[in-house]
Each structure stands twice: as C-alpha cells, then as structure tokens.
Structure 1
Amino acid sequence: MDTNDDLHLSIPLDPLKDSFSCPICMCLFHMTTLTLCGHRYCEGCILEWIDRKRRCPCCNAPVRIADLIRDTGFDALIQIVVQQKNKAEDAYFSDLVKKCKAPVSVMADPATSDQPTSTTPDEAEPGTSNEAEKKLAKSAELSPVERILHKYIRVGIVEHERYYRNLKGQFQKHFDHAVEQIDILKGKDDEASEAERKSWIQKKCTLSSEFQKCTKLLATTYDRYLKEHLPTLSTIPVTVFFRLFGKDIVVGELVLQPHSSMSQIKEMLFLRIRERQDRVAVYREPNVHYLLIRPYGKEHIVVDEALIFTLLAQDNPYNTDQNELVTLLHSESIPVLEYGIQPGCDIVIFGEVKLRSELPRPCFTALFEEGEEKMDYFTCKDCSFNWVCRSCRDHCHKDHETTPYVMGHQPTWACCYCPRKKKCLLRDPGL
C-alpha cells in the first residue's frame, strides 16, 4: 500500500457523540480541558466543578486547577469533525434539491432500467457531455425562495433522515441476530432445534413487517405535518408600500397578513401615522379609494386622479385578475387573498384624507389643558371683540385688523371669544 495515497473513510458520527461531549454539560466541548486522570471537560464546566467539589466528576480523583491542561489539539479535531459534518449535510441536502429539480431522465430509477444512469466523458457522444452538465447545473440553481427554504428546512430534513437511519439500524441489528440464529440452528436435526429455527424465521418476518410499517407511518406522519404546517407564498405575510396621493407623505411599508381586511389595514395605517407624530383628522370613507399598483407597473403607469376616474368608469373597477398591473381595492375586501397581492406592491390612497399636520392649528378651546400652555390673545378691530387666540387670529381673522391684547396669559379655562361670537372657522376639522 502506498503511504502517500489519501485514505478516505466515512465514519458515522453518532457513535462518536459521547467522545465529543462534555460529561458535565453534555454539549460539544468548548475550550477542551484535560485532567491528570485523563478526562476531558469544557474549561468553564470543570473550573466551576472544582470550585464546588475538587474531584473529577468521572472517577472521583482529586483535581486541582493548577493541574488542568488545555487540550487545543482536541479542539482542532472537533472543529474538523464539525466542518465535515456541515459539509456532509450541505452535500446531502444539495443532492435532494438536484433530484427534485432534475428532469425525469436524470431521476430514473436504476433498478428499473437496463441502461446505465450516467456515462463518463470518454463514453459520451462528442459535444453532448458539456451540454448535459450545464443543464444539470442550471437545474440545480436555487431561486431566492428556495434558498430561504434551504436555509431553514435543511436541518429538519437531516435530523429526520438521521432518525430514520437510527430506526433502520435498530431493525438491522435485530434482523441480523435472527439470521445468525437461523444459520446456527440450520445444521441441527432434532425437533426442538427445528421448532426454534421456525420461531426465529417467524421473528425475522415479523421484524421486516414491523420495520415496513414503522417506515410507512413515519413518512405518512411527516407528510401530513408538512402539508399542514409548511407555509406557501399565498399564506405568508406580504410587505407592501403605502402613500397618500397629492401629499409629500409616504406612510411606508406595512406587513399585511393573508386574512387582513381593509378595515384592519386602515387601523394599521392610522397607527403608523401616529407613530410619525401625526394623526388622521379627516377620512371620509365613501370618497376614499385604494389604488393597487403591482411591482411591474410602477414605471409604466401615471398615477393621477384621471386614472381613478377611468377605473371607476369600468364595468369591473375592482378587478382581481393578478395579470392587471393596476386596479382598485374594494373597501370591504381581504386584499392579499382576493387580489393575490405580491411583495413590493404600492397602494396609493386617494380621496378626502387629511392629516392633523395639514390643517391649521385648532382653536385654543380645543387644546386647553389646565396649567399646560400660556396663550397670546388679540383684539380684532373689525369684529370688535377681544380674547382672540393666536390660531383664530391667523385663520379666522387673517384678513382683519388685529392688535395684541394680552401676551403670555395663563388661562384657567378654554378661553377664546371667537367661537363664542360664532366667528370661528376652526371648529370644523374638514377645513
């Protein structure tokens, strides 16, 4: 044997788990530390143990902190094993992906075909090998969604496959024992040995039947669980962008649940606006329209009031066809489910919607809280009365001749004579 040749061994990891696990925390060694009696522990674990008992947890031999040895070579070995384990899991899952995406001819069962499943480059026809490899490589490319599934499902698949292999290993152990007993009793002619041999044959058949039953139940249970719990793109939340037409205000992105109704979405909008230190002052529902623009329509559609009038004039303005780049959302709909809203859609809100920041500051009578705020009061010479708050002076009396009356006054009640004299225009929030 050439000592320079690489020796490739596939060693199952499960039998080595105990050797790589700390006897104290039962986890993978971290900063492996060796005692004089030859036992390994995590450094933190054994230091805490010595502080309490000063004896080896495995053999009860006396242990001192000064005698502990850092086993860096063992840490390096663990790191190599973990890296190889991760590579093996990646390769296993990638192989599953390739099988799922490969064409039927590539996935043909070798047991049912007389033709070889693959050919070497020397056996392939000229000019076909590279093309086949490119097609296979292309079929194994992952989309962004598949990469997410690869990230989160890989561990689950590997663990379930390991569980199945353990189940199969237990079966094989008992099955091999039954075969061994049958072989031992085969050469004996007495009735007792023959009866025992038949008993072992029956056990072997029973073991095979039980293994097939367990395997089928495992697969069925896993299939049912995934069918009920694995999310599809139509059942996961969707992120869309909201903005108010005609205003330099972008509400921003909102995450819509599949079951969210328009009334619930409206509450989310109001809450998001409050988070921006503003409030919705006017929202007249019958005159509010929600324009849905799908991702590929943003560059081609001119968003204006004429577009809304055009859509409203159609026989079906609330078209749920997902091929339509723009449509109106019905105010009583469940948009994600009914319209198939994709991530990245824009929803533009048209109509009688006004924010508090757009309206004039309300009259002081609507803002008064005792001891909170001082107020400047003015006299309106055109209206011939005093005690006009600053907001009313700026809005209700903006074209009148006004002069300061009392500056920096601390009112004890909601004082402003403009509403009392029925001159106030700020009492209607729609203005």
Structure 2
Amino acid sequence: MEFDDDPEINLSIPVINIKSCLMTPCGHNFCERCILECINRNHKCPCCNAPATKDKLIKNHQLEKIISIIEFEKEESSKRYFNNLIYNNNQQQQVVQQSNAKKPILHPVQELFSKYLKTSLLAYEDFYNQLAQKLEENKKILEKERLESIKKYENQVVMLDQVKEEFAYKQDKLVKSHQNTLDLFLKSFEDHLKKTAVAPNFVNIQVSIVISSKNITFEHISLKPSTTIIDIKQLIIDRFNQKGGESAFIKYMDDARLVAQLPIASGGKEIALDEDIKPLSLYEIVHGSKIILKGDIQLYEDLPKQCFAATYKPGDTMDYFKCLDCNYSWICKQCSNHCHKGHKTIPYLVNHKASFACCYDTKNKCILSNK
C-alpha cells in the first residue's frame, strides 16, 4: 500500500490511499494490486498467513466508500487550510490598513509567501482584469454595430435575419476567442507557479549510520527533515542501550565527529556535519547516504575488566599469557589486554582451571586487582 505523500500541513485527516479494496476470507483488507501480487506468490494472507486464493477475495465496497469520504474530506480540509492562509491574511491586512492598527503577526513562512508571491498575483490579476475589460469593450463595439445594422435594414425582413445570424456568430466567436486566450493565460500562470512554488525537498530520508571504530552499521534509519546532529547522537546512544549489557553506551570520546557520505550516484562527496542544531535537510543529504561516526565512543565492554586474582572463584578457568617485554608469565587475560597493552604477549596456558587466585601480574604492575 502506498501512503499519501502530500506535504505535512496542519490537517486533521491523514489517510492511506487504497484503491479497489479486497478482503481475504480471514477478514483482512488490502488494495487489489498488493494482495493479488502477494497471494500469487505465497497463496497466504500477508497479515496472518491464513490460506488465501484469488477466487476467495471479496470486494469491500463499504471500506472503499469510507476511504472515498475520508479522501474527499481531506481535500476539503486542505482547501480550507490554504484559503484561510491566503484570504484571511489578506482580509486581516485590509482591516489593519483601514483602521491604522498594528500589522497582524504572521508566521515567518506566511510572511515570505505573502512578500514574494504578491507581485506575481497582482501582475497576473491585472492582466486577467485587462482581458475581461477587453472582452466587454469588444462586446459593446459589436452590439453597437448590430444595432446600427438593424436600424439600417429595419424594413428588410430577410436582411434582418441575416444580420442577426451574422452578429450571433460574431459574438459566439468573440466569446470563444476570449476563452481560448484565458485558457492560455491560466496555463501560463500555472507554469509560472510550478517553477516558483516548487515543493521543497523536505521529506524523510533513509540512511545508514556507520560506527567506524566498532565496525557496526545501523541500516535503514529514517530521518526527518528537522533531524539534527544532536538527534542522531541520541539515536546512536539509544541503539546501543537497547542492546544493553556490555554494549551499553557510556560516552562519546573527544575525537568523535559525524560526517555524511553521499551515494556514488550523487557524487559520493563527504559533508562535515559540524553544527549540532542545523537540520539535516539544509545539508542537502539524499536517500542512501551514510552518516559516519568518525573517532571513538566508549561502551561498557571497553572498560578494563578486573584482574582474575580479584574475581577468582573455585572452578574458574583462565587464559594465561607471557609478556616478552616484561619477561614473566602467568599473566591473566584481563591484565594482558590492559596492563600490558602495546607489549608483545604470547599465550602461555589456555583454558587453565586455576586452583587459586593466580595472576603473577599482581606482584609487578597490575592496576586491575583492586577494582
């Protein structure tokens, strides 16, 4: 099913555009194109997996009627909204001018709309009025000629009939010519509006978010036009916290920063996302882009673990290592990874079942045993 992709305005009736609604034997409703494609492949209801075949589908006239009513009401609501936006504001301004009161406070978008569209509206309205005036002038000229001809042939019945037919034809031609001109004029105005009132590219975009330091990618992330860097950073935090446990988020490191990488088809360039509250729509990011977190973040799994000597319980096993730089062995895995980070270490005894809290690093440089 396809969702109506009109711009989001303050209307009270959102609606799903379903054409030719069909109902399955199990009582679920779908548009005809969608359900036919589905059951032709799987022979099941996509909602509950109940068996479904083409011959068992039922036309749901009642739901179609309801949807038709909703679509009509949505269209009417849209008209009312924009009529109020344009006409009410104009009326308010006229009242203000007449009363010498303060100018009404308009929404900034309304202010710009009124400022730049007013010139076009006035110019086209003036031309429209000129056309209407010209039609009336030509009608008067034609009527004057008709009356003069009638007076000239008032005693000639045959000629009078010809005069009436001739001027009826001329008047009909004049009206049709005016209508053709008006149609061309309105087409010109519509073309002008299509160029100057283009819908902005303020739509949700699908991106992937890449955490470079962790080799993790969050796919199919839908971002609103108003999404900011702050929102993306919070989204990353939420995704890790949803995993919980060792994947829980702690903090962004000082070198962490976000960039956007456009798809190859859009040039593949990299855009620095350097303003926390700047909406992504103003960065001209497109569908399929990657939001890449460069630098590092800290998760609970990154925190140093306690030394085996501090956590030992009877029966525990441990991997022990030897540090070639320090020249001693029996170093537990945690100390090998943290205390001897950057040293050359090799496995010494793997999966050893310890009989006591053994880690020789506690006698040397261990900093984990007291944590």
Q: TM-score, normalised by structure 1?
A: 0.33
TM-score normalised by structure 2 residue count = 0.37
Greater helix content: 2
